[in-house]
């Protein structure tokens, strides 16, 4: 437990340092009063940036000047802009009309839901640790972070309200929403309110978290006599718009204007047809390359192929697989039995293993010795054909048959009880580490296991751009049966059912960053495995007891790891550093050179 706390503290301190330079200065709100009514030129600091209330400005040039004051790594928003064309005319090169819709909920007719949250509850943000967790969710959603101290120092700010969703069992923060009381922010004569920064952890498994947060905020403002609650939502966010319309929101004619910056670049540069169709694993690399001025040519979008050119050097890639990875290294990763022999020779711990074509007596003896085993194809990817927790000869035979659909050679391994850890090693350095957890569903007393799985698959697919869902196949049925259920059984409310034993993202697993909490022995094992294979970019999979402990066994090496799965860790940045070292800023190159020199001297 102490290790967990130290790891969380270290990660929190790291995030705090990154944000310290952009910590809020001065009061949260700035305005000039115009008597007892509407405040003039009202601006509210929300931590991630400022809300500039357009209806409080009589001169559109003053709004433009206010947006010009936007700080680095901030996102200021001019809201309630009635004449955006006039505002844009004052700074056409600096400002843009945000492609979002404004929606309004009439709180006089709003009725709370009779269904309450299940497995989690909504409460006020109550500590700096809550603030750190909110920032973690913001990061996972590519949103601007807020200095943790801002949340805490503004906890009594009557204009700002923060709610979080907390898991009843684990205490984890699952989502967050921010509310603004318009009368307290700028003396709104209409006595309205607004919703901002609704975000749900993409790894959360409970249904309805976003809806519960919206309802809680609406009920909060309704109880305080507010007439309505507004929000701004991207025009193409059909899922969110569907939720808001279901709750009774309707579109209103107010507009949002922002200052052009790197954060919102994609909103004003328009779509680039050359990069449409790339999957998230290719897109994250192409985006980083383009930020550095590296020319990108899409060779085959559907397959994730692209060519990068910079300073006379050209590299062809397929997602994180580049020409720098040799065919020999690829062939080693492709055959799990070869991978095992290579890394074992380098001193990396591997599980005991036998061939899937062994006779029944040998398989029975292997089962008796280890209790549970893993059956997997010698060649394959994305968890296809892998069965975990096999306990009987009949189960083993069925699993071997399924595995042979992926590869003629099948391997049987001792089952190491623990967690699945993926370590991203680039240029023989650890860049990211994440626990991969198998998919599970939580009963609500009404839906069957099958229905819960289908619902989970829809959420996982939406959160990963269609990359993740739980297959309704024989392996899922076996795992559900092993948990004591049939697919059409209805689990009791709060009952958790693990529906797959493998933790692959593509089969519905979730991924949880633990980069700041890894035992050195695990890092050494991953780097040793990468060096043994001589592969410059790889995802090393280990089974571990805990990230803070040295116990592990090697599972496999992936020659094309999904870098997008490890945001906000700088996986794409380090990949481009490897391919094009001269694209790094000079200060970074100098520091890297000095670090290598020190290591050699040691």
Compute the radius of gyration of the chain from its Cα atoms: 26
Check residue 125 and give left, alpha or beta (phi > 0: left; psi -120 to 50: alpha): beta
d(CA 81, CA 64) in angstroms, rounded, equals 11
- Residue 394 belongs to some domain of the structure: no
Other Cβ atoms closer than 10 A to 325: 21
Listed residues 473, 500, 527: the one ending a domain: 500
Residue 225 maps to which CATH number?
3.40.630.30
Listed residues 454, 481, 500: the one ending a domain: 500
- For the chain, first and last CA: distance in Å? 34
Do 245 and 431 form a contact (C-beta atoms < 8 A)?
A: no
Among the listed ranges 55-64, 261-270, 479-488, 519-528, which one has the minimum average pLDDT value? Answer: 261-270
Query: In this structure, are 198 and 146 located in the same domain?
Result: yes
Query: In this structure, are 179 and 162 located in the same domain?
Result: yes
Query: In this structure, are 185 and 294 located in the same domain?
Result: no
- The 10 Å CB-count burial string (b at 16+, else e) for 92-103 is eeebbbbebbbb
Tell me the percentage of the chain whose pLDDT exceeds 90.
47
Q: Write down the pLDDT at residue 29.
A: 44
Per-residue confidence band for 243, with pLDDT thresholds at 50, 70 and 90: very high
The 10s digit of each residue's pLDDT in 144-201 is: 889 888 987 887 888 999 999 999 989 999 999 999 999 999 999 999 999 999 999 9
Query: In this structure, are 179 and 152 located in the same domain?
Result: yes
Q: How many CA atoms lie within 13 A of 450 on its CB side?
A: 8
- Residue 354 belongs to some domain of the structure: no
- pLDDT exceeds cutoff 60 at 16: no
- Residue 332 belongs to some domain of the structure: no
d(CA 573, CA 245) in angstroms, rounded, equals 39
Distance of CA 148 to the CA centre of its chain: 20
Query: In this structure, are 154 and 188 located in the same domain?
Result: yes
**DSSP bridge pairs for 200:** 175
Query: In this structure, are 80 and 177 located in the same domain?
Result: no
Listed residues 454, 474, 500: the one ending a domain: 500
Query: In this structure, are 120 and 216 located in the same domain?
Result: yes
- Residue 203 belongs to some domain of the structure: yes
d(CA 48, CA 38) in angstroms, rounded, equals 25
Average pLDDT, rounded, for the chain = 86
d(CA 369, CA 374) in angstroms, rounded, equals 13
For 313-324, give the secondary structure using H, E and C.
Answer: EEEEEECCEECC
The 10s digit of each residue's pLDDT in 301-341 is: 989 999 999 988 999 999 999 999 999 999 999 888 899 89
- Domain count for the chain: 4
- Residue 120 belongs to some domain of the structure: yes
Tokens of 73: 């790594």
Query: In this structure, are 121 and 208 located in the same domain?
Result: yes
- Residue 37 belongs to some domain of the structure: yes
Query: In this structure, are 119 and 187 located in the same domain?
Result: yes
Closest CA to 581 of 431, 433, 426: 426
Query: In this structure, are 237 and 157 located in the same domain?
Result: yes
- Residue 514 belongs to some domain of the structure: no
- Residue 471 belongs to some domain of the structure: yes
Q: Write down the pLDDT at residue 520.
A: 95
Do 505 and 467 form a contact (C-beta atoms < 8 A)?
A: yes
- pLDDT exceeds cutoff 90 at 140: no
Closest CA to 119 of 230, 46, 206, 47: 206
Range of 81's domain? Answer: 29-100+263-268
Q: Given the DSSP bridges, would you call strands 313-318 and 305-310 parallel, antiparallel or unpaired?
A: antiparallel
Among the listed ranges 200-204, 486-490, 591-595, which one has the minimum average pLDDT value? Answer: 591-595
d(CA 450, CA 460) in angstroms, rounded, equals 15
d(CA 505, CA 402) in angstroms, rounded, equals 20
Query: In this structure, are 81 and 169 located in the same domain?
Result: no
Among the listed ranges 112-126, 376-390, 524-538, which one has the minimum average pLDDT value? Answer: 376-390
Among the listed ranges 195-199, 235-239, 369-373, 589-593, which one has the minimum average pLDDT value? Answer: 589-593
Neighbouring residues of 481: CB distance < 8 A, sequence distance ≥ 6: none
The 10s digit of each residue's pLDDT in 89-105 is: 999 989 999 999 999 99
Query: In this structure, are 127 and 239 located in the same domain?
Result: yes
């Amino acid at each position: 437990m102490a290790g967990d706390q130290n790891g969380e503290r270290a990660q929190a301190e790291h995030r705090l340092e990154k944000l310290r330079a952009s910590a809020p200065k001065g009061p949260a709100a700035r305005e000039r009063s115009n008597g007892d009514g509407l405040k003039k030129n009202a601006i509210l600091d929300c931590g991630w940036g400022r809300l500039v209330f357009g209806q409080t400005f009589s001169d559109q040039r003053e709004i433009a000047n206010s947006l010009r004051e936007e700080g680095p790594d901030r996102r200021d928003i001019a809201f309630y802009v009635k004449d955006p064309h006039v505002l844009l005319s004052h700074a056409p090169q600096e400002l843009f009309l945000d492609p979002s819709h404004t929606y309004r909920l009439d709180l006089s007719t709003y009725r709370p839901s009779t269904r309450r949250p299940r497995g989690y509850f909504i409460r006020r943000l109550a500590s700096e640790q809550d603030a750190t967790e909110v920032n973690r969710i913001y990061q996972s959603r590519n949103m601007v972070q807020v200095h943790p101290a801002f949340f805490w120092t503004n906890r009594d700010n009557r204009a700002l309200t923060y709610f979080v969703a907390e898991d009843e069992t684990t205490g984890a923060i699952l989502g967050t929403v921010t509310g603004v009381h318009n009368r307290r922010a700028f003396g709104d004569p209409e006595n309205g309110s607004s919703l901002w920064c609704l975000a749900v952890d993409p790894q959360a498994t409970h249904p309805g978290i976003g809806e519960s947060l919206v309802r809680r905020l609406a009920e909060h403002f309704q109880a305080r006599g507010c007439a309505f609650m507004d929000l701004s939502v991207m025009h193409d966010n059909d899922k969110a718009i569907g939720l808001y319309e279901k709750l009774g929101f309707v579109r209103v004619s107010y507009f949002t204007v922002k200052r052009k910056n790197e954060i919102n670049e994609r909103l004003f540069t328009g779509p680039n047809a050359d990069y449409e169709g790339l999957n998230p694993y290719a897109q994250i690399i192409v985006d980083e390359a383009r930020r550095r001025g590296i020319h990108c040519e899409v060779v085959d979008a559907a397959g994730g192929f692209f060519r990068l050119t910079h300073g006379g050097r050209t590299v062809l890639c397929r997602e994180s697989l580049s020409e720098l990875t040799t065919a020999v290294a690829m062939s080693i990763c492709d055959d799990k039995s070869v991978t095992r022999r290579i890394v074992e020779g380098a001193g990396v711990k591997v599980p005991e293993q036998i061939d899937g074509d062994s006779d029944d007596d040998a398989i029975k003896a292997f089962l008796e010795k280890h209790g549970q085993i893993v059956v997997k194809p010698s060649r394959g990817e994305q968890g296809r054909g892998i069965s975990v927790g096999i306990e009987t000869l009949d189960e083993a035979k069925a699993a071997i048959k399924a595995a042979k659909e992926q590869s003629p050679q099948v391997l049987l391994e001792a089952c190491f009880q623990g967690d699945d850890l993926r370590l991203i090693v680039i240029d023989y350095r650890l860049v990211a580490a994440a626990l991969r957890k198998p998919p599970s569903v939580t009963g609500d007393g009404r839906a069957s296991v099958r229905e819960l799985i289908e619902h989970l698959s829809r959420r996982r697919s939406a959160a990963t751009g269609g990359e993740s869902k739980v297959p309704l196949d024989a392996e899922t049925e076996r795992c559900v049966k092993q948990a004591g259920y049939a697919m059409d059984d209805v689990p009791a409310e709060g009952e958790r059912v693990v529906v797959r034993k493998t933790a692959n993202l593509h089969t519905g697993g979730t991924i949880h960053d633990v980069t700041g909490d890894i035992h050195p022995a695990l890092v050494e094992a991953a780097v040793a495995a990468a060096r043994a294979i001589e592969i410059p970019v790889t995802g090393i999979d280990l089974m571990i007891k805990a990230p803070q402990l040295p116990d592990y066994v090697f599972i496999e090496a992936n020659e094309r790891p999904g870098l997008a799965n490890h945001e906000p860790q700088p996986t794409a940045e380090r990949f481009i550093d490897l391919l094009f070292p001269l694209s790094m800023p000079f200060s970074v190159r100098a520091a890297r050179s000095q670090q290598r020199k020190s290591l050699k001297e040691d």
